[in-house]
Structure 1
Amino acid sequence: MNNEKLDSLRQNISDMLVRRGQSPHFADDESLFDSGRLDSASAVNLLLELETIFGVDLADPDFDISQIDSFAEITRLAQSQG
């Protein structure tokens, strides 16, 4: 897994948090969506990035939106793709 890509993804999530008036800091296992820190528009942006940069197949019947609730889950999803 390319750490540079993950670092960029972490920064993009921090930027999304700031745009929503949240602290840019988050723990790897912290809930981002269920907690309300990020919204559905943020989820769309994140999913597009995961599809484009990491090749995540959003049409996969095994894909579950809960797989992107924390950075740790996002990392596992991205790593499973390649």
Structure 2
Amino acid sequence: MPQDPEKLIRTAISELLVEAGQSPDFDEAESLFDSGKLDSIAAVTLLTILEGELGIDLSDPDFEVEEIDTFAAIMELASEQAAA
């Protein structure tokens, strides 16, 4: 992986929050999408980053957006993919 995944994801989430008029600060277990802080457009952007920048395969038909609702969940997904 060309970049530190944690730093890349933190930065992306912070930028998406700012674009949505939110504070760039967030807690690792804080809901990003179910809470309404980020919308579906932000989800697509984040998924694009996960696939394009980190090579995470999101083509699994059982993939649920809840798997990326928190920073902790995103990092767990990235960790699982890296181990596979």
Equivalent residue, structure 1, for 2:63? 63
| TM-score, scaled to structure 1 | 0.90
Matched positions, count: 82
C-alpha RMSD of matched pairs (Å):
1.8
Equivalent residue, structure 2, for 1:13? 13
Equivalent residue, structure 2, for 1:81? 81
| TM-score, scaled to structure 2 | 0.88
Query: How far off its partner does 1:2 sit?
Result: 8.3
Query: How far off its partner does 1:3 sit?
Result: 7.7
% identical aligned pairs? 51
Please list every run of at least 4 consecutive aligned residues from structure 1 whose deviation after the TM superposition is greater than 3 angstroms: none
Please list every run of 5 or more consecutive structure 2 residues that lacks an aligned counterpart in the other structure.
none
- Return the alpha-carbon distance in structure 2 between the equivalents of residues 51 and 15 of structure 1: 18
1:26 aligns with 2:26: yes
- Return the alpha-carbon distance in structure 2 between the equivalents of residues 70 and 5 of structure 1: 15
Deviations along 1:8-67, whole A, 9 cap, x unmatched?
A: 210111011011110110000000000000000000000011111222222112321110
SS of residue matched to 2:16: helix
